Structures are given as structure tokens and as C-alpha cells.
Amino acid sequence: MDDKGNTLTNPIDGKKTLHTNGKFYHNGSWFYEGSSNRDFAMEFIAAASLAGFICMPIFDAQLDTNRLDRIAFANNLAKGKKSIYLSFHSNAAGNSINPQALAEGVCCFVGSLSGTGGKLAAEIMPDVQAVFDKWGSKRRAQLVHDRPLDETARTFMPAILFELGFFDNANNADLLINPAFRAEVITAIVAKLNKLCL
């Protein structure tokens, strides 16, 4: 956001949705996933830094950037250091013009369920699910998936890619723009990381 509170975004990947049920999001129009992702990432960095973690943002705070470039940058930063790669996203089930998806809820992706990222996700996700439950979101069928996404397959450190709700679902979209909800999700993640003594 700029100093006037305007969301600055350039969603080059086109991940956006227009909710036609009278709900308005970023500057009264489209819901841009990239803007929501950056809100989570920046707020996580602030909370985790206060908790004593050293956080290295690998994204542009105003623009969507190439994920392969972000991953390469993270890999260079992590050389020889105890690190974890956390990537914040939201999901979509419909198309960008007329979604109004019914799918909602939280899950994450890791490179391997038996790897460090998978074990961390298995500890973290029930606490994140509890936040979604508290705020009335429906559940996904599975919390932790092992799938070789770029963020989980190309990183040299354990990685978790969070899918924090569906941005084309009006109920989840309402949550994603709510700072109190984001704060509870972030608090759950940071508290669990602290407990695991990373």
C-alpha cells in the first residue's frame, strides 16, 4: 500500500476475480490474489521478526514478480544457513470472470510429507485450520499435500506453500481482507514455529 492506503498491484499472472454479489475489494473492484498474498507476507515478516526470527522478504512489496527469480534469490540467501521457505497464497476454483466458487478452506503444499517441510506443515496446519474454523470457513478435504510445485521442488531448504482460502469464494475473500483474521493466522504460524524452536 502507498502512504494514502491505496493498494499497489500489478497482477501479471491475471489471478483476480470480480465478485458480483455486491462485495467490493481492492479499491472497489477486483480481488487481486497478489495483493492479498503480499499482505500476508509483510504482516508475517513483521510478526515473526518481533518473535526473534530473521526474515528475508524475497518479493517486491508492490508488484507480482517471477516466482523462479524469487526462488533462486531465496536459495542464494539460504546457503549455509538454517532456513525455511514460506510462501503465502490463496486459491481459486472458478474462472476470473464469473467464479463465485463454493470451494473454501485452507491447505498447504510441501515437497515431501516425510521431509522437514512436510513435518513442519503437519504441526502448523491444525492450528491454522482452527483459525479458519473459528471464523466460519468450510474445510478442505486434506490439510497437507505433497506436490512438486516450484516453491516446494526448487528450493534448497524446507518449504511450505500455504493456500489460505479461496479468493474467488466470497466468504473466504471477506476473511482475506480482514486484518484481524490475517493476524490470527499469522500468530498461529509464528507461535508454532517458536514452539518447534526453528
CATH hierarchy code of domain 16-195: 3.40.630.40
Q: Which pLDDT does position 22 carry in this prediction?
A: 67
The pTM is what?
0.86
Q: Which pLDDT does position 1 carry in this prediction?
A: 44
Calculated CA dihedral for residues 121, 82, 50, 105, nearest 10 degrees: -20
- 83 contacts: CB under 8 Å, gap ≥ 6: 74, 77, 157, 158
Across the chain, mean pLDDT equals: 85
pLDDT digits (tens, 9 = 90+) for 76-94: 988 888 899 999 999 887 6
pLDDT along the chain (198 residues), means of 10: 48 65 69 85 95 87 74 89 92 62 90 94 97 96 92 93 92 92 97 84
The answer to whether the beta carbons of residues 68 and 150 sit under 8 Å apart is: yes
Q: Which pLDDT does position 148 carry in this prediction?
A: 84
Residue 198 to residue 181: CA distance in whole angstroms: 24
Q: Which pLDDT does position 16 carry in this prediction?
A: 78
The answer to whether the beta carbons of residues 70 and 143 sit under 8 Å apart is: no
Q: Which pLDDT does position 95 carry in this prediction?
A: 53
